[in-house]
Amino acid sequence: MELSTRDQILVTLQRFPNSTVEELSRQLQLTRADVRYHINALLKAERVVQMQRFPKDGHAARGRPAKSYQLSAESRPDILTHLSDILLDMIQSNADAEAYQDELARRLILAQAPSGAETHAIGRLNAAIQSINQYPYQARWEAHAGGPQVFFHNCPFAAIIRKHPELCQVDRQILQNLTGLPAHQTRKIDLDGPTVPACVFVLTQNR
């Protein structure tokens, strides 16, 4: 049986997450107007979520960031979510939970750690953002008087973060490990709406 247009969009987003309307149009050989029509219907049905695509190096580009789309958590039933939930419960019940979180952060970045030794703080930060964006964080950074601010516009742990807010500490530790700078979280992303569009971390530069 031939898939409906909306099912074709869902299948394509499973293969190519964070696709734009233009990319979906090319993949499916549909007009952009047709894609927008079906995407809007899928958004209302909470089958997909709208994201913002930023450059992989994390630098803020001029103009508005491109809108992209990915499957919602409800559209991605996965035994890995349940398994992760169980394992995190086991970690949190352990007396050394904080040490386990630090080790989890260390292992998550091992495969994505930047090659070479960046000695300049800005160079390390740019390399860190590129490494983090190997995962679907949609991270970027901006310079501020109190220190660089790092924005995570997507939460890879969205399916379980409400039950396991300690994963925010894992993100903080990842930032610290990659940049060599102390980090603290000032805002958490609003998963239910656009009120807070990103998790925000502030890095304290050594003086």
Digit-coded pLDDT (tens) for 50-96: 987 765 555 555 556 788 998 887 776 566 677 787 888 888 887 78
The per-residue pLDDT for 66 is 80
- Residue 202 confidence class, pLDDT cut points 50, 70, 90: very high
Domain limits, CATH 1.10.10.10, in the chain:
5-75
Yes or no: say if 6 and 42 are a contact pair by the CB < 8 Å rule.
yes
The per-residue pLDDT for 61 is 53
Sign of CA dihedral 187, 179, 68, 14: negative
Q: Which residue reads 């994505």 in tokens? A: 112
At residue 174's C-alpha, the angle toward residues 168 and 175, to 5°, is: 95
How far apart are the C-alpha atoms of 98 and 113, rounded to whole Å? 22
CATH class of the 5-75 domain in this structure: mainly alpha
Amino acid symbol at 145: A
Per-residue pLDDT, averaged over 96-107, amounts to 84
Alpha helix stretches (DSSP H) within the chain: 5-15, 21-28, 32-44, 79-92, 97-110, 121-132, 167-179
Neighbours of 64 (CB within 10 A): 7
